[in-house]
A and B are shown apart, each in its own frame.
Chain A
């Protein structure tokens, strides 16, 4: 496979995952903001959403007020935001056009449909219209995952999946980092209604509301939520699952080309390190530091992948 094609496929995976995550984040924030009492709580909800996707500064630079409407538009539809859902789908489609021969017609059509559904929209509209838009994008990205799962287990599939899991790990780490910072200021106790809404929002963003109940059979506890999103490998969006899948996909790719490299080594190292620790130790040494290191390691693995497969 051409290196450029591999790069196109990998980026399709990343952009489609980022589009879905951002959509879910907007959805969960809309819910949180409608449950919040008082303008200040509402505002905090939207500002934290911007923080999760690293767009707080660029949004501030756009000189718009952090109203639900404005932030939803910025996250979903803005052409000025390179990480908006619209931008992600446009980038994914551009890559898909260039790598059209490497993917199935179904996968191409799923990406194209997602783009066509969003292309003409300039405003998210009011609450209900915004929710409809979000449902459409969620259905479209699920359609892409469905098309992906029907592809031959070969390089094209592995590269798209690899892009997805690298992006997924990054997104989950950011989400946990921001929400914890917001929810657990040093030394404060937890347990109010607002907190419960916040935790529910977080779980909803990673589609894990019921998964939590199923796995822990307990009310929402911050350390258990962190445990779920970091350590539970059966939870597809957890860091553990992302780490394991990265190792596995790289070894599939290595097996077909007989080539292993720095990316394989770093991915295995990260998986081992994660297995050697637990949630208590992480809380003792600092969750924020742990997540910061994870995000940096993830970026290093991304660079190693680009080098190993000559994305150039």
Chain B
């Protein structure tokens, strides 16, 4: 555990900075923590979790023996960003997501970025994520990544680093909204101390985004949310979003494709569908093109998409842009399309396919994080500083056998946020996933996101499937008071 200690000494705490006094602007949070006391915080946290259980804000963990519905642990102490921090962050996010959309359009179109030698051809065209059936297709209004979840970590007062882009079917946004609801209800006095920007307009913004990308000529567009069904781990979120947007929540069996047009079966007969916000993976979308055994998708859907008769949100084939092998080129990609340097840096990444990088990785396994290029959810990952030596040797063998499947990154000193633990309030590591919406002619970002917290002391793994929890992510309003305020809850 010697290496872990090396990491700990550089850790930035988002409330306390490096010192004994709270950072400028965060004094009200510190005084709120002292005033409220851990006993009361604990009671409120239990009340919040009980409410989530009744509401059914649940998820299930695949591969767990008792895969009953569980709730993700909720931490009552919020994580706070200042307006200035947020403005800087959101400018960087917009720049990155615009570049991602340009990149996807390019690799399925002209492939200029390959011709210009910025990204090697084999990494794009030989990538399992490169979706040949949609090459040459252009979605309505040219938008591919309508909803992007960009995973960030913080390593210092001014340092935000992108860990991962999610532009397939990013999830978690319902927690952003439900966590805020819980905080407003249980800690109204906190919102007296701070002017906070709202997040509950996200469904409205998402609905506007979806309607904006309806195919040209659709008069009163019909938009649906396509779910794998109520046994899926994220079904609560699907039903929550469909409900709050006022659109139909459909399963594959509710849709049919006839003459390249998508219809939904209703009690009044067939209704034409223009926009599908799908929450099922590409592989299950259309059994005629992808996995032929899929019962979740709709036969002929891809043909309807290719014919330009329906918008699929997010577009099929987006996996090429959030692949870990592509990730390491993201600074080049942003520079190539925007003509500017990336405002949000990447984590320094060694591509093990390159002999020099592989050698460096093998020499420094104890200090590095090694990831599978096509893994997710914290599986297939080595965290050198905390790994047992047997695990390290296992990864060493795997790396030598198939170096092209791995990348390596330094262990980051993730920032910490005060968190309620059994030992009282103490710092825990967090990450952050804001959601970026791209419509036909706009990009917008709700001031907030999903903060995940590693509840075990010293742990860097925030995934909900591996003992992570969530927190409300509060963005303060600018000091001039122009920003819209939350309505106070009843009695507040």
Contact = CB atoms under 8 A, between A and B. Distances in A.
Contacts of A94: 230
B243 A3 contact: no
A310 interface: yes
A200 B253 CA distance: 48
A3 B239 contact: no
Contact of B266 (A3, A100, A109): A3
B122 interface: no
B239 A2 contact: no
B254 A2 contact: yes
Q: Is the interface of A mostly helix, strand, loop or mixed?
A: helix
Contacts of B235: 97
Contacts of A155: 267
A6 interface: yes
Interface string B204-243: 0000000000000000000000000110000100010011
Contact of A2 (B54, B56, B265): B265
Contacts of A312: 253, 265
Given A97-B230, A98-B230, A4 B242 contact: no
A98 B251 CA distance: 10
Given A98-B229, A109-B54, A2 B264 contact: yes
B230 A2 contact: no
A61 interface: no
Contacts of A309: 267
A1 B268 CA distance: 8
A2 B266 contact: yes
B251 A4 contact: yes
Interface in A100-121: 100-101, 109, 112
A219 interface: no
Interface residues of A, number: 20
Contacts of B265: 2-4, 310, 312
B230 A259 contact: no
Interface in A80-107: 94, 97-98, 100-101
Interface in A249-292: 253, 257-259
Nearest to A105: B55
Contacts of A258: 268
Contacts of A4: 251, 253-254, 265
B248 interface: yes
Given A98-B229, A310-B267, A312-B265, A2 B243 contact: no
B266 A1 contact: yes
A164 B462 CA distance: 47
B250 interface: yes
Contacts of B249: 101
Q: Is the interface of B mostly helix, strand, loop or mixed?
A: mixed
Contact of B239 (A100, A259, A310): A100
A229 B268 CA distance: 35
Contacts of B264: 2
Interface string B327-364: 00000000000000000000000000000000000000
Nearest to B235: A97
Nearest to B69: A97
Interface in B241-279: 242-243, 248-251, 253-254, 264-269
Nearest to A1: B267
Among B54, B265, B267, the most chain A Cβ lie within 10 Å of the Cβ of B267
A3 B254 contact: yes
A53 to B, nearest CB: 28
Contacts of B248: 2
Given A98-B229, A101-B243, A2 B268 contact: no
Contacts of A1: 266-268
A259 B253 CA distance: 23
A96 B212 CA distance: 32
A60 B229 CA distance: 37
A230 to B, nearest CB: 32
A241 B469 CA distance: 53
Contacts of B229: 98
B247 to A, nearest CB: 10
Interface string A283-312: 000000000000000000000000001101
Among A2, A3, A155, the most chain B Cβ lie within 10 Å of the Cβ of A2
Interface in B356-408: none
A310 B270 CA distance: 10
A2 B251 CA distance: 10
Contact of A257 (B242, B243, B268): B268
Contacts of A112: 56
A101 B238 CA distance: 10
B242 A2 contact: no
Among A4, A6, A112, A155, the most chain B Cβ lie within 10 Å of the Cβ of A4
A107 to B, nearest CB: 13
Interface in A1-36: 1-4, 6
Nearest to B55: A105
B239 A101 contact: yes
B242 A101 contact: yes
Nearest to A308: B267
Contacts of B269: 259
A242 B383 CA distance: 66
Interface in B19-70: 54, 56
A3 B267 contact: yes
B267 A257 contact: yes
Contacts of B56: 100, 112
Interface in A105-141: 109, 112
Contacts of A101: 239, 242-243, 249
Contacts of B266: 1-3, 310
Nearest to B268: A257
A259 B230 CA distance: 30
A307 to B, nearest CB: 12
B251 to A, nearest CB: 7
A259 B268 contact: yes
Contacts of B250: 2
A100 B230 CA distance: 9
Among A94, A101, A112, A310, the most chain B Cβ lie within 10 Å of the Cβ of A101
Nearest to A7: B267
A312 to B, nearest CB: 7
20 contacts: A1-B266, A1-B267, A1-B268, A2-B248, A2-B250, A3-B254, A3-B266, A3-B267, A4-B265, A6-B267, A97-B235, A100-B56, A101-B249, A109-B54, A112-B56, A257-B267, A257-B268, A258-B268, A310-B267, A312-B265
9 residue pairs, one from A and one from B, having the closest CB atoms: A97-B230, A309-B267, A257-B268, A3-B265, A98-B230, A101-B243, A6-B267, A1-B267, A100-B239
Given A2-B264, A257-B268, A310-B267, 14 more contacts: A2-B248, A2-B265, A2-B266, A3-B266, A4-B253, A6-B267, A94-B230, A98-B230, A100-B56, A101-B239, A109-B54, A155-B267, A257-B267, A312-B253
